[in-house]
Chain A
Amino acid sequence: MRPRGEARGRRPYDLVRAAPEPEFEISVDGVAVPVVPGQSIGAALYGAGVRSWRTTRVGGRPRGLFCGIGVCFDCLVTVNDSPSLRACLTEARPGDRVSTGGAVRATGELQDEGSGA
């Protein structure tokens, strides 16, 4: 697994003197995404460089996080067969299977590993 520190830089972790617990993984459309315990599914995706995961009904446009606080409903995902959950509010749990119904489009690290879109 990609060590978070290398990919995103230690800077935010150093800034707040974080000593995080070991990461776990969730599966998003079959792609492994690392999670620090307590993070939301949406934040874990963003942290892994995934910017969008849902596709709109009319225009077929990619969507991911917008408001980030549970108000806009752009980030909806299905978690372990439970549909229409807001990824930004849903805390990830070890082994969660997340399906997006859209194309997971990665920028940055995940794509570099060839495991993104």
Chain B
Amino acid sequence: MNNPQTARLNRWLVISGFGFFALLMFTAPGVVKMVVLSALLAYIFDPLVTAIELRGLGRTASTCIFFLFVTSACWILFLLVSPLVMAQLEALRTGVSTEQTAGFILRLQAVVRKNFAFLGLGNVDLAERIQEIGISASGKIIDFIVEEGPTLVVYAVAVPFMIFFLLKDGREIKKALISVVPNKYFEFSLDLAYKMDVQLGNYLRSQFLDAVTFGVLSTIALWILGVKYFLVIGLFAGLANLIPYVGPVAGALPAIAVCLFDTGDITKVFQVVLAFVALKLLDDSVIQPTLVAKGVNLHPLLVLLAIIIGGEMFGILGMILAVPATGFVKVVFQESLVTLKKYGFRED
């Protein structure tokens, strides 16, 4: 490595690698999104493959068994749950205009006309407005399915494919990346990579477990309360819980909307709000302290900025991935500083 030409070439290799990644981020954000998503999921599932490896199997065989198991589980779940989900989605699309809903809308219209006439809402036709919004929303959903359908298919094929190879060859990929590091920084980089691996793995896995737990609990709560489409809303609430601050509210809103439009019963709305508040308290005081790694505490402002930037760059998936990505950057900085202090590079 003392050879200056080799060192320069190596530096250029690393810089061009970063440059290529940055270029990809702006020209093909979809690919970056896919790679990041696959890498995160591979990170989350890695201990499961290692657990299979513990039975004396090779990495490839363990990854194959894991995939076989996951694929079968997903297929069974799909067969069991999809008719219910599809039925709930279909009902969600068509069944909002029941008599009770119409009654509720009329009452709401009277209140608005009476109290907000000074805002020019004296003759507002709420039923018509809601219908307009409904038509525009369903149009948007259909547009989204038509436009994003092929992309979703690509995701459904490419993401599992990437996860498989990341799980199977993850160690070799890490080794190959470390081999590019100059000798002077080799042990430092290796030390840093191992520490980040532990911290980041714990963080991502705990976030994933937290989201799953919250999703399951909200589904159960909504089912007990007799809220329609509890499965779809519960799943959404679990996923939304990955986004701090905004997530829990975003998860509760569909449930409230369904209660309002389905029954028009304010008591039920209060019950749903109370259930979500209780679940969030349970999440904050019991689930998160038990599951979520304590190492990555992000400042609320930083989280909010990350969510906005993630949303701007990659949409909803960007918002979900923004927090783990910020956690990753924070772990990199934290561990780099600690490890740098330990090594204190000298001039040779």
Specify whether A and B are partners: no
Interface residues of B (CB under 8 A from A): none
Interface residues of A (CB under 8 A from B): none
